[in-house]
Structure 1
C-alpha cells in the first residue's frame, strides 16, 4: 500500500497535474499495475496515463487507454469528470481512422 509502486503512482499524478506529460509517461512506463489489488487505483493510474497522452495530443493512445478503462471499470469511467472530458476532447479531434471507436465509446458513456 505504501511501497515503491504507490510512490511512483503519486509521482505520475504530480507530473500529470503539473502538465509534464513526457515525464509522467516516462515514469508510468516503469510501473506494473497488474499486481495491484485495488481496481480503483488501477483505474486512476490508467486515467492519468490517458491524460498525459491527451496533453501530448496522442489521440490514438488516449483512445486505447480509455477503452481499457471501459473494460476495467465502465461505471467509473461513465461517472469520472476527467474521463468524460477526455472522451469529449477526443471526439473533437478524432481522425477518420478511429472516429468510429471514439464515437462508440462516447455513445456507451451517454455523451452523445
Structure 2
C-alpha cells in the first residue's frame, strides 16, 4: 500500500489494501499499524475538503 501511495497511485493503493487479510499476520503491532495507516490514508482527503470549505467561508483563501 505504501509503495502505491508514494508513487501517486492512492486509489490503487487503497484498492489493494482492501483485499489484504491482516488477521494472519503474527504480530499484533503490525496489524494495528497497517489499520492505522489505512485509516489515515482514507481520512485525510475528507478533512482537506472540509478545511478548504471552511477557509473559503471565512475568506481566508
Q: Normalization by structure 2: what TM-score? A: 0.58
Select the structure of larger CA radius of gyration. 2
Q: Is the 8 A contact 1:16 1:51 kept in 2?
A: no
Q: How many pairs align?
A: 50
- Structure 1 position 49, deviation (Å): 0.7
1:33 aligns with 2:19: no
Residues in 1 aligned to 2:24 and 2:15: alpha-carbon distance in whole angstroms: 20
- Root-mean-square deviation (Å): 2.5
Residue segments in structure 1 that go unaligned for 5+ positions in a row: 1-11, 60-88, 94-112
Partner of 1:49: 38
Q: Normalization by structure 1: what TM-score? A: 0.36
Residues in 2 aligned to 1:33 and 1:20: alpha-carbon distance in whole angstroms: 21
